[in-house]
Amino acid sequence: MISSVVRASLLRRVVGIRAQSTWTQVKMGPPDAILGITEAFKRDTDPRKMNLGVGAYRTDAGSPFVLDSVTQAENQLLHEKLDKEYLPITGLPQFTRAAAQLAYGSSSPVLDRLAITQSISGTGALRIGGAFVQRFCEGTPTVYVPGPSWGNHKAVFGDCGLTVKPYRYYDAKTRGLDLEGMLEDLSNLPRGQIVLLHACAHNPTGVDPTPDQWARIQSVVEENGHVAFFDMAYQGFATGDTDRDAHALRTFVEAGRAPVVLAQSFAKNMGLYGERVGTFSVVGASRDERARLESQLKILVRPMYSNPPVHGARIAARVLTDPELRSLWLSEVKLMADRIIGMRVALRSRLEKLGSSVAWNHITDQIGMFCFTGLTAAQVDRLAQEFHIYLTRDGRVSMAGITSANVDYLADSIHAVTQ
């Protein structure tokens, strides 16, 4: 018989063991910077408050925008009462085919040798792409990203086991492109590295190379045997013209000498944020190579998530392939781009009318959803504390959060903290 004293001792020991969780050593992770901005914005009760941190389009009334082309496509699909069966590993063929044509051009000669898979939006495309280059590029290549770049690039590629380093891109003095620094850095890299390029509407700076500058960049990438890894999250969203926004990608592809891979997203240009619709593609040298590349993409995707979601892909496919819906969508893309361009003009104009001693031409020189204002961290803090305006501490403003009703207040506040 076990005495009550021994029984109590054993019980305490068991309870103590249970209290020491297997996960005790797991530390609290750092908060997400954008989430922190949103939480601070929500807590603020001032009616003038502005959230300029989130990278999602808003109407001039400050509301989320569901595109009419998307709504019509979705209604058609619901009326057809389609099944919910699994898609193939590489996704919905009607969608990936239309997405490839949108990115590379409907008459591009590479379409018949393009290996492509549907992805979980742009982030998922980057994750597949990172795994692909990590597995199949010779040696141990490093991914070089613009300085600065989208914050998630480093995390995504790092989780693929890749080293991530910056190359010069943004010139803080001119608030424009440091082309010579960029070309020098790319020329001095070891051969065969992975060069991440924003196809258009660079995030976070809004600074894009000109067509002539892209030609020089292409030559340097080609001469040094690098792989061009394009991230195209904003096609159509930069200029309002999907072909114009694909110029950089097509420049590289048409030259045909540098390896090209592409991560493509439909979150911004179709407003399909929560549907997670995208693609990852690799330009092959032949149809035979395309088949081999696709076989390996399937092997990569299968243990990640088996196959992608169907609903958003069906919407995107319908919008891209139905002539009337496509025409409507293109007009809506231009509407979104034009509204953001209009807010750039209005913000700069107001700042200049206030007699600001700061040059604000970069507001309209930059393009796309974001503007790299040049505001310091201290100035950003003042905007939040004194004026209830929230943005990331690097001075990045989401232009989509500006409306005709609040642009003057924003300009007045920026003027106050930059005097």
Strand partners, 171: 176
The whole-angstrom separation of Cα 344 and Cα 382 is 22
pLDDT of residue 232: 98
Q: Catalytic residue among 178, 208, 245, 268, which?
A: 268
Q: Does residue 32 have an active-site annotation?
A: no
Residue 20 banded pLDDT, cuts 50, 70, 90: confident
pLDDT of residue 17: 53
Which residues make Cβ contacts (< 8 Å) with residue 266, sequence separation at least 6? 99, 121, 272, 275, 277, 278, 312, 316
pLDDT average, residue stretch 361-375: 95
The whole-angstrom separation of Cα 15 and Cα 8 is 11
Q: 154 vs 30, 55, 123, 150, 151, CA distance in Å?
A: 15, 18, 12, 8, 6
128, 117 contact by CB (below 8 A): yes
Per-residue 3-state assignment (H helix, E strand, C coil) for 205-263 = CCCCCCHHHHHHHHHHHHHCCCEEEEEECCCCCCCCCHHHHCHHHHHHHHHCCCCEEEE
Hey, which bits of 141-193 come out as E strands? 142-147, 163-168, 170-171, 176-177
Q: Catalytic residue among 150, 214, 329, 360, which?
A: 150
Dihedral sign computed on CA atoms, order 83, 84, 87, 92: positive
The whole-angstrom separation of Cα 91 and Cα 89 is 6
pLDDT average, residue stretch 314-325: 98
Residue 31 banded pLDDT, cuts 50, 70, 90: confident
Reply yes or no on whether the pLDDT at 19 is more than 60: no
Which residues make Cβ contacts (< 8 Å) with residue 147, sequence separation at least 6? 166, 167, 168, 169, 170
The whole-angstrom separation of Cα 366 and Cα 202 is 9
| Per-residue pLDDT tens over the stretch 257-291 | 899 999 999 999 999 999 999 999 999 999 999 99
Q: Does residue 268 have an active-site annotation?
A: yes
Q: Does residue 49 have an active-site annotation?
A: no
- Which of 283, 270, 296, 267 minimizes the C-alpha distance to 104? 283
Residue 21 banded pLDDT, cuts 50, 70, 90: confident
The tokens for 200 are: 């258009």
The separation between CA 193 and the C-alpha centre of its own chain, rounded to angstroms, equals 21
The tokens for 297 are: 């993409």
pLDDT of residue 141: 84
User: Mean pLDDT for the chain?
Assistant: 94
Please state the φ and ψ torsions of residue 393, each to the nearest 5 degrees.
Answer: -75, -5
**% of residues, the chain, pLDDT over 70:** 95
| Per-residue pLDDT tens over the stretch 121-150 | 999 999 999 999 999 998 878 999 999 999
109, 347 contact by CB (below 8 A): no
Residue 279's SS3 state is strand
Strand partners, 397: 371
The tokens for 303 are: 């243990």
pLDDT of residue 6: 57
The whole-angstrom separation of Cα 176 and Cα 168 is 12
Reply yes or no on whether the pLDDT at 15 is more than 70: no
pLDDT average, residue stretch 198-219: 97
pLDDT of residue 312: 98
pLDDT average, residue stretch 346-356: 96
Burial of 163 (0-12, 13-18, 19+ CB in 10 A): middle
Q: Catalytic residue among 231, 245, 329, 360, which?
A: 231
| Per-residue pLDDT tens over the stretch 385-399 | 999 999 999 999 999
pLDDT of residue 32: 80
Cα end-to-end span (Å), the chain: 84
| Number of neighbours of residue 359 by Cβ within 10 angstroms | 13
Predicted structure pTM score: 0.92
